[in-house]
Amino acid sequence: MTAQETTARDALIAVIAPIQAAARRKFTGDLEQMRHAYFIGEGLPEDTLGEVQTAAIAIRDRLVGTPPQDVLPGIKAAQITALSNAVTQYATDVPAPGDQQNENTGALETIVANIGKLAGLRHQVQLAAEQAFPWRTPGVASIRKSFQLPTDRPMRG
């Protein structure tokens, strides 16, 4: 990259960084997978200008709109405007993702975010089955298998 491209990339990253910090605050626990929508842990400083431009556009698109896909703590109109201005200034020749792609990406992110919730619910069902069909009770092995419980010992966790 040229010095000008490096400067532009660094300027975009400087505008994105506070938004990423807010996303880290909001998306914890079961929602940690949503951090990928904000390119957290993606190594933006090592990416090319084009890749950072694409990330900036994707992040901006999540924060603008009526209603926006995400509302992040501490991110006000000034930060969103600064991001939009930086995208306009530096994002030349980078096409914005199509609306359908944005919707598909949003749906996938919602599904991924809910995987942890579903795993927790599955665990609750297994605990209920563990309680209803203790492993020492004769004749419950096939029922325990259907709940993915061990047949020769109690469930861990």
Statement to judge: residues 27 and 80 lie in one domain: yes
Q: In this predicted model, which residue has the larger pLDDT, 19 or 5?
A: 19
pLDDT of residue 134: 93
Has residue 15 been placed in a domain?
A: yes
Q: DSSP for 2-55, please give it.
A: -HHHHHHHHHHHHHHHHHHHHHHHHS-GGGGGGGGGGTTTS-GGGS-HHHHHHH
Has residue 109 been placed in a domain?
A: no
Q: Where in the sequence is the domain holding 82, given as residue range(s)?
A: 3-97
Q: Domain count of the chain?
A: 2
Q: Is the CB of residue 20 less than 8 Å from the CB of residue 38?
A: yes
Statement to judge: residues 67 and 129 lie in one domain: no
Spatial CB neighbours of 127, under 8 Å, sequence gap ≥ 6: 155
Please, what sign has the CA dihedral across residues 51, 53, 54, 60? positive
Statement to judge: residues 46 and 91 lie in one domain: yes
Tens of pLDDT along 19-71? 999 999 998 888 878 888 899 988 888 888 888 998 999 999 999 988 888 88
Has residue 20 been placed in a domain?
A: yes
Has residue 110 been placed in a domain?
A: no
Q: Is the CB of residue 56 less than 8 Å from the CB of residue 86?
A: yes
**pLDDT(97) > 60:** no
Omega before residue 97 within 30° of 0, cis: no
Has residue 106 been placed in a domain?
A: no
Statement to judge: residues 74 and 125 lie in one domain: no
Q: What is the pTM of this model?
A: 0.57
Has residue 102 been placed in a domain?
A: no
Has residue 92 been placed in a domain?
A: yes
Q: Is the CB of residue 129 less than 8 Å from the CB of residue 143?
A: yes
